[in-house]
Amino acid sequence: MKLIELTFITFLAALFLTALKDSEQDKSQINIKTDQTMEQDIKFLRIAIDMAKESKQKGNLPYGCILVSKDGTVLLKGENTINTDHDCLAHAEINLIREACKTYDHEFLKTCTIYTSDEPCPMCSSAIYWSGLGKLTYGLSKDEYYNVVGRGNSDWVFEISAREVLESGKRKVEVTGPFLESEVAELHTR
């Protein structure tokens, strides 16, 4: 009887060690994927930041964004044009989403990511939701933005986070950020 018990205990220990080893391999795969995803997100955010720089050079506010397919192709670029278009709704995200919806269907957009230089305002967050976009990744957070530019002008302060807006909808939109905040904040201080 003791031999059977000992064999059973040995079997359970071997099973446990095998499961533990597999679990460690799974964790290392997750870390590799996370690192690769982070590198890709940073690369695409820098393109969105470049769009914000272009917008500022043209006399508009420094906001930019890009639309990226699930295979990593940059499909569209958007920049803020509120001053040059004399249109208070011409935010970078709205400009991009208008073009995206003319070109791609709702199901395709669910597989895409919008990268924005700054955390989108409530209007743009709602447009992200209604367009069907599946993921948002942003640079400068709303909190840090207001720390940089201040909250003195009540006409321009609307402190509802993109996450809060997007979590209010029934469809899930993945949100990641903030990233590269100090890099983006420089655009709002110069």
- The set of catalytic residues is 93
Q: Identify whether the C-beta of residue 93 lies closer than 8 Å to the C-beta of residue 120.
A: yes
Instruction: Give the strand order in the sheet containing 74-79.
Output: 74-79, 64-68, 113-118, 135-140, 174-176
The burial of 142, by beta-carbon neighbours within 10 Å (0-12 exposed, 13-18 middle, 19 or more buried), is given as: buried
Amino acid at 167: E
Expressed in angstroms, the distance from the first to the final Cα of the chain is 81
b/e for 12-25, b at 16 or more Cβ within 10 A? eeeeeeeeeeeeee
d(CA 108, CA 134) in angstroms, rounded, equals 9
